[in-house]
Amino acid sequence: MSVLVLAEKPSVGMSLAAVLGAGERKDGYVEGNGYVVSWCVGHLVGLADAQDYDEKYGKWRREDLPIVPGDWKYVVFGSKKKQFGILRGLMGRKDVESLVCATDAGREGELIFRLVYQMAGCKKPFKRLWISSMEESAIKKGFSELRDGADYDALYYSALCRAKADWLIGINGTRLFSTLYNRTLNVGRVQTPTLAMLVERQQKISGFVKEKYHIVRLDIDTGGSMFNAQGGHIPDLKEAEYVRAAADKKAAVCVSVKKEVKNVSPPKLFDLTSLQRDGNRLFGYTAQQTLDAAQKLYEAKLITYPRTDSRFVTSDMAAGIPALAQAAAAFIGAGTDHPVNAGQIVNDAKVSDHHAIIPTAEVSKADVSKLPDTGRDILRLVSARLICAVGDKHSYEAVQAVFECGGYSFTAKGKVVIADGWKAVENVYLSTLKNTAADSKETQSAKGDDTEDGGALPPLTEGQVFENAAATVTEHFTQPPKSYTEDTLLSSMERAAEQISINHGKETVSDAGRSGLGTPATRAAIIEKLVSGGFVSRKGRQLLPTADGENLIMILPQALKSPALTAQWENVLSLISKGETEPDDFMRGIEEMAQGLVSQHSAPSEEFVKLFASPRESVGACPRCGGNVFESKLNFHCEDKACQFVMWKNDRFFTSRKKELTKQIATDLLKTGKAKVKGLVSEKTGKSNDAVILLADKGGKYVNYRFDFGERGE
């Protein structure tokens, strides 16, 4: 008898087969040693399109909304029918007595397996493989600890709810607003509030009015060195000049000196979002590029599972951390004499499905020359982070001295490093980077951890006097907010509901934990979808909303573009995956929202219609509804999609007579109902003739034409 192991990708399937001893290659699978190993090639089965429920949904009409399936339908994606057929056949084999779900250990991986299993009509028992590393030891351990498939039912329900919610909001929202404004306007449960954040930031930048201010600075000479102290912001130049004149060439008296030892804790290990952020900040990689690189490194057994939201490892891993840190240090060329405080990266309570991203022991064998640039950069970044995370604290003494001069106060700040700690490794790593982001000073440490001004100040004591201080005035301007980069957008998506309170009955519960927009595994795809849809553009490292993106957010209701609401939904999906709330309750809320959208938007807003008015020249008036008819690459169509009036350029009436429906012919037909056409070739005789063509539209699916035999063509 055999066990069918079903992986998500061919590369993973082959790695599993190698460990299991299945080496006989077949078409779409490998078998041997009592195992049959195959793969899904990503999503094989998905939710059916709207028209699969009713042919009428093939046309976009507002009167058909909302579309809310009673019994959901599923389809096998066309390009993957062969592999699905192979899997169905394997599941039906008499010698296959059970299965192992070995798709990626997460929400989407669970959905991929379950939909294939159900679509194939399989009833055989299955267990779940749950691993965070593709190393041979991890695979063997995972197969020795297989869990019953039913243990992950809640995770599957969460994944299915996510898919259905995206379908309901995407289908109904997109069709509703597209038909209202006669333009394809893509709406999504997560992508729309993400776009709204980009638009809001851009509006703040566009509306920002800079304000001038001045700073009076003292240059103080100690006799052997110089340092400076600064006053506060002074809006008025005359006032600043007055302060400067009062202090210039006067004695500066030190009235207070404060010293404080500060410690900067090591950074946490990477989860996917923080890895993507640093990948963007240090190398300019998009979130998708970083995810793709990390996934390939995982499949190559060089790092652990990347689609994780944890930044800690479990206690059973602690013993292996010193050797792993030593291998990582050698890999990045940072030496091996570094402290390893494994305990500070261990927290069982903060590891749910997967632990943080760390290099595997295979990093010591990695052939860097065979890795692409992105893979090499991400592997070095993950390795450096591990060494920093287990390092000692970085310590420094912060000094703040206040001086009185000419009746005004000035402050000098400085610091002295006491112990480099983990920053010694970070500095070695950063020195190897050739092209870093413009803000690379904000490196792997948390921003703001180490922001004391200046270097070391000279020894200072209260009452100390410095003669003849030189005062100068400098001009400055307030700065607008910065445009989002993928680094900062990912951060905002992750923290979308950090300050939001969710009402649960009579209680108000702070939702500052996991309520973000999307999940670490999906945020990169959301950004790419906004870019490919033309709603967001990349300008260098900046992400900027396009005019279409700004217009779309302008017309949409708050419910669709609220980051807080969508983040709350994601929180509920997380609760579903833990079995702490009912899937049906969540879906009822989504269905009610879809129904509410349609009922509340029966007509376009007059003030917004002009936002989507086409700048194209109209070919003529639509004979069915009176709207404008515009030319596209393939046809002449009514601006109102619901009208469905289309004159195809390759209509057989013309092509069979060696002609194409031109703009001039279309214009004449729409204006007078007829057009004189020269050079029509008869199918029967092959002779060329001129004739008058009439527009004989009867309002059906296709526009008809006929000859006017009562009038000769010229």
Active-site residue list: 305
Cα 712 to chain center, whole Å? 63
Counting other chains too, the contacts that 165-170 makes at CB distance below 8 Å and 24 or more residues apart are 165/189, 165/569, 165/586, 165/587, 165/590, 166/190, 167/47, 168/66, 168/68, 168/590, 168/591, 168/593, 168/594, 169/560, 169/590, 169/593, 169/594
Residue 571 near residue 309 (C-beta atoms within 8 A): no
DSSP symbols for 14-38: HHHHHHHT--EEETTEEEETTEEEE
Alpha carbon distance 305, 282 (integer Å): 22
Cα 507 from chain centre: 32
DSSP classification of residue 167? H
Candidates 74, 72, 77; CA nearest to 168 is: 72
Q: Give the distance, in angstroms, between the CA of residue 249 and the centroid of all CA atoms in the same chain.
A: 57
Distance CA 648, CA 636 (A): 6
For residue 327 the two structure tokens come to 């291998």
DSSP state of 437: -
557: preceding bond cis by omega (within 30 degrees): no
Tokens of 366: 């990695």
How far apart (Å, rounded) are the C-alpha atoms in residues 442 and 323? 29
Strand arrangement of the beta sheet that strand 620-621 belongs to: 620-621, 628-631, 635-638, 646-648
Q: At what angle do helices 563-577 and 153-181 cross, to 10 degrees?
A: 150
Residues 6+ apart with CB under 8 A from 308: 132, 271, 272, 353, 354, 355, 356, 357, 520
Whose structure tokens read 């995407």? 170
Residue 177, φ and ψ in degrees, nearest 5? -75, -25
